[in-house]
Structure 1
Amino acid sequence: MGQKVHPKGLRIGIIKDWDVKWFAKKGYAKNVYEDYKIRKYLKDNLRHAGISCIEIERIADRVRITINCSRPGIVIGRKGAEVAKLKGKLAKFIKGDLQIKIIEVKVPELDAQLVAENIAEQLQRKGSVKRAMKQAAGRSMRIGAEGIKISCSGRIGGAEIARTEWHLEGRLPLHTLRADIDYGLAESNTTYGKIGVKVWIFRGEVLPSKDKLKEKNSQEQRTEALASEDIKKLTLSIIARIFLGKISTILPFFPLSSPLITNTLSPFLKLILLLIKSLFLPLIYTTSEASDIIFIKFLSLNSRATAPNILVPTGSF
């Protein structure tokens, strides 16, 4: 279903992040409505700034708005005059401290939202749909995109029956979660009605960095080392309980450990029972010297957890 779902929504938490970052138990609806008003106001008043994405973050009584745009000079103005005006107007319907941050989109040809809005503007000026799609796709591929798909739906060319025209270049792996696919949607208000423009841009695969791989490997090694130490301690406890309680099954030992340790020990617990009951129990009950020590050595059936030499003093039983 990769073709049906929103590419960003499918990848949130994997390679994408939320555009809105806040949590509220009370006043949730009020915050959502405020976010809607913020986005609508910015989109309507900064149409020529090339806004790609608006991120809203709420921390206590502060509201931080990050505007990603291709023409930051229009938003900032001379000596920050436009930002000050914008902040004053937004403060009318936002309570608390307001912060505005402007980030420039350096390569607008690889931003799906900006490409979609550019095509929508051309269609509004009665440009050719196929020419607009082909030119936009060619620019994106030359800049470095690995694939692009553009779809235009509506009464194209004033036709009475609406249809969909699309153009595809390169590859577009929508099912691959590590694929960095940007998606944009825009509407063109023509004299015949609205024409919807959708753009998908594949910008390459996002692979974990070397630092993250090293951190993951070191974490796995620490986990295995801790599990090995727990197995050693648990093995001593198990053997002591076998001697003291004369236990003949392995079921009582499962609650002693975590699932990881239980799964590691379970294959050779029966071997421990067999060795102790058949070989060493007669020696324990016949010896009389408290200083005698029986050395029990067994091999693990699991290559990750090789059991050590275990010293069992006979005087304690």
Structure 2
Amino acid sequence: MSRKINPFVFRLGVIENWRSRWFSPKQYKHFLREDYFLRDFVYQKFRKMGLEKIEITRSAHKLTVSIFTSRPGLIIGKGGGGVEALKNELEKKYDAIKIDPKAKVDLRVQIEEISKPDSHAQIVAQQVADQIEKRLPFRRVLKQSLAKTLQNKEVKGAKIKLSGRLGGSEMSRVEWLGKGKIPLQTLRANVDFAKANAYCTYGVIGVKVWIYKGEVFNDNLKIKNQNAK
């Protein structure tokens, strides 16, 4: 089962939290559409700047977009000018897609720094994709990226998979490299998963990354285990 489902989605509500946090049964489809376009806009703009994840939080008349990145200086800009420019662009984008043109929403942008980028799957996947686009040998990219990821003490295991016309070959194939353990079936296992695409002249190369960071034991999980007994 875990081989056919996103490891992050599989652990939602157990050890992972939702990337969009709000509740509105009547406006669900409209808020979902707005979140999708806002998140896609930010991702396309900053995907090569160490972007890890984008969280969206809503309240009555406030919308907060939190951007987690390993290179916050590139987004913030000189004197915070980058954040103000991004906020203005997001406000224009939001005004164009929101369902109620008269509704006023206070849109805020927060930039959060990622201290250990090599232990986050999304950043590693994008770095691998960038190197593949530069036509570096894919086997060397696999070995170097895996070794760099495993240097972090919190990483217990990792796996990187490439698929497509690797090296410009006529027939597409799958190559992967992994080390350590990745318990996909264990819900309390902190498995970070991400995908990225490398756009080459001979086609698109898909990149998938799994990073295992040990097991998570929190109070909610302990209560669930006690109730099960």
Q: Distance in 2 between matches of 1:9 and 1:75?
A: 28
Higher relative contact order by CA 8 Å / sep ≥ 6: 1 or 2?
Answer: 2
Aligned to 1:63: 63
Equivalent residue, structure 1, for 2:195: 185
1:129/1:61 Cα in 2 relative to 1: closer, same or farther (>3 Å)?
Answer: same
Change (3 A) 1:212 1:183: closer
The answer to whether the aligner puts 1:148 opposite 2:155 as a matched pair is: no
**Per-residue displacement from partner, 1:194-231 (whole Å, max 9, x unpaired)?**
0000000001111236x997xx6xxx9xxxxxxxxxxx
Which residue identity does 2:197 align to in structure 1? Answer: E
Alignment of 1:226-245 (within 5 A): none
112, 116, 119: which one aligns with 2:125: 116
More helix by share: 1
1:105 maps to 2:120: no
State the 4+ residue runs in structure 1 displaced beyond 3 angstroms: none
Answering whether residue 13 of structure 2 is matched by residue 13 of structure 1, we say yes
The one-letter code matched in structure 1 to 2:114 is V
Partners in 2 of 1:37 and 1:182 — Cα distance?
Answer: 24
Question: Structure 2: where are the runs of 5+ without partners?
Answer: 95-103
Query: 1:60, CA displacement in angstroms?
Result: 1.2
Kindly provide the CA deviation profile for residues 55-105 of structure 1, in whole angstroms up to 9, marking residues without a partner as x. Answer: 011111211111000001111112211101111111113251011111111
Over the aligned positions, Cα root-mean-square deviation in angstroms equals: 1.7
1:176 matched to 2:186: yes
Larger strand percent: 2
Q: Name the % identity.
A: 39
Cα distance between partner residues in 1 of 2:189 and 2:47: 30
Query: Counterpart of 1:140 in structure 2: which amino acid?
Result: T
TM-score (norm 2): 0.88
Deviation per CA, 1:22-59, whole angstroms, max 9, x where unpaired? 12233322222211221121122223321110001111
User: Which of 177, 182, 204 does residue 167 from structure 1 map onto?
Assistant: 177
Match of 1:131 among 140, 144, 150: 140
Structure 1 unpaired stretches of 5+: 221-317
